[in-house]
Amino acid sequence: MSKPIQLLLSGALLLSAAAGAEPPPDPFDILRLASDRVSAAASLSFQVEKRFDVVLSDGAKVEYSGALDVMVTRPEGLFMDYGDDLSSKRVWYDGRTMTILDSLKNLYVTVAVEGTVAEALERVAREYGAEMPLAPLLKKDRLEKMESAMRASYLGIHDAEGEPCHHLLLRGEHADMQLWITTGDEPLLRKTVVTFWDIESSPQQSLTFSDWDFQADIDPEVFKARLPEGAVAIEFLPLGGE
């Protein structure tokens, strides 16, 4: 068989294989499955390790780290305990009030707010500009906003924290986000990396998720504020100063 014919046959085989290959999964379908697990859980807890860059005034990029514990009982129970090299905060929500404590300054604010966890987080963010750590993960409408604002790519199955994961890339106007979500019938978010392109030196933020528990047995007392001795109350000013 002549070499040109061999090349033609090889090319035909490659085209045939490509035609029969399954298309990659839709990244948003995978993300939706993982998000639905979080949204559907009546009670859950998880932990997060965080690494993030801070760009100094002289352009130097410095990495810091932190950790977050989250406990949720739906519809009306939330506790967050966050601390990093630069800040420390705790958040309690019991269905009637949300209390936010700055542990380093020993200052706290209490806001009267009712509704589900997602509704309370949304109202505090909308009326006071206070976005809680990982609040988007607990908001059902967050995924719809991401779909309309970001382009998605499926990068394959890659390792994250020792587990095979769907590796996704979401590209937006101001930032890109990579996500690793475990394969199988019960997908879990394991890791995210966000690159902020509109900030000088393009700093990154990396979150690693662990200890997911979708049947967490949480004492309701956890959601009632426990303030340290000497904590000073301050007031939230609504956006616009009204």
The C-alpha atoms of residue 65 and residue 54 are separated, in whole angstroms, by 11
Residues of the chain above pLDDT 90, percent: 62
Greatest mean pLDDT range, 83-87, 135-139, 172-176: 83-87
With tokens 């589900």, the residue in question is: 116
Q: Mean pLDDT for the chain?
A: 86
Q: Which of 168, 178, 176 is nearest to 202 (CA)?
A: 176
Q: What is the pLDDT of residue 17?
A: 45
Q: What is the pLDDT of residue 187?
A: 94
**Position 8 pLDDT exceeds 50:** no
Domain boundaries, the chain: 25-233
**Position 4 pLDDT exceeds 80:** no
Q: What is the DSSP string of 53-112?
A: EEE-TTS-EEEEEEEEEEEEESSS-EEEEEEESS-EEEEEE-SSEEEEEETTTTEEEEEE
Q: Please, what is the end-to-end C-alpha distance for the chain in angstroms?
A: 84
CA distances from 26 to 29, 146, 151, 167, 171 (A): 5, 14, 11, 11, 14
Q: Which residue has the higher pLDDT, 195 or 236?
A: 195
pLDDT tens-digit series, residues 91-104: 999 999 999 999 99
The second-level CATH assignment, the architecture, of 25-233 is Clam (2.50)
Identify residue 45 by its one-letter amino acid code.
S
Q: What is the pLDDT of residue 30?
A: 93
The C-alpha atoms of residue 92 and residue 108 are separated, in whole angstroms, by 11
Report how many helices (DSSP H) and strands (DSSP E) the chain contains, helices first: 4, 12
pLDDT tens-digit series, residues 106-144: 999 999 988 888 888 888 888 877 777 666 666 655 666
DSSP H or E run through 152: strand 151-160
CA distances from 135 to 1, 82, 131, 198, 236 (A): 65, 13, 7, 22, 18
Q: Which has the minimum average pLDDT: 18-27, 59-68, 218-227?
A: 18-27
Q: What is the pLDDT of residue 109?
A: 93
Task: Report the half-sphere exposure of 132 (CA within 13 A, side-chain side).
Answer: 28
